[in-house]
Amino acid sequence: MIVTGATSGLGLVTARELARVGARVVLAVRDPAKGERAAAAMAGHTEVRRLDLADLASVRAFAAGWTEPLDVLINNAGIMRVPPGRTRDGFELQIGTNHLGPFALTNQLLPHITSRVVTVSSQLHRRGRLDLDDLNWQRRRYRSLQAYCDSKLANLLFTLELQRRLAEAGSGLRAVAAHPGIATTSLTSHIGGVRGKLGRAFKHLFNNAERGALPTLYAATQDVPGGCYIGPDGFAHLRGYPEIGTPSERARDADLARRLWDLSARLTQPVHQENR
């Protein structure tokens, strides 16, 4: 199995628990030294390989180095509400890291995958308003929260379109999405409402990393249908144990998903230069 972003938070717990029960887990991480420290604290068979989802050359190098069957790819890595920035390829940082990088990685590894692709989204996808005419925020005033929500909507559109394409091809592979509810990990460390006084007052509504990783683990290991969306079963789906839920109507827009796929394919082609 491959777990991206496995040095902290949900990815660390996901990798640790899969390795603990006997899976061979590759920690695909931006900082190999940090990855080695994380792997050293895990029981079981682990390996660390470098992967920077904000750099398509790194994605291509990682995929080119993979030559064996791969049961499960877990697209876990992500960033949230970062200041304006660009990836190495000129993409807006959140859509580039959270969607375009995993999109390219999945498609390049797909010939090796034998079971499923799990992509971690968020309930904030419900606030996504993806603008395919300005995916990289070149004309609009940048809003970090909206950019994050858009990237999480893109994760679900990608998952459901991948599942449609797999089914049309007669493949038995599955594409599955998961979300952690609200998990108090380092991803939310800069958001005062979650980590500050308000967060402490309502901490009973939030998951820690161990509980937040349960939907991902469930999606990766249980006999769930392709195209499903797994998250916590508790109040407002903020915390609890895994159950199959329903993504937003916008996330289930097949036409939008196809158009996003086509755009993502064009943007992530090695010869593409438009955004540089």
What residues act catalytically? 148
Q: Are 144 and 83 a contacting pair, CB within 8 Å?
A: yes
Q: Residue 267: how many CB atoms within 10 A of its CB?
A: 22
Q: Are 220 and 1 a contacting pair, CB within 8 Å?
A: yes
The β-bridge partners of 232 are 242
DSSP state of 92: B
- In terms of DSSP bridges, do strands 174-178 and 229-232 run parallel, antiparallel, or are they unpaired? parallel
Task: Give dist(CA 214, CA 234) in Å, integer.
Answer: 13
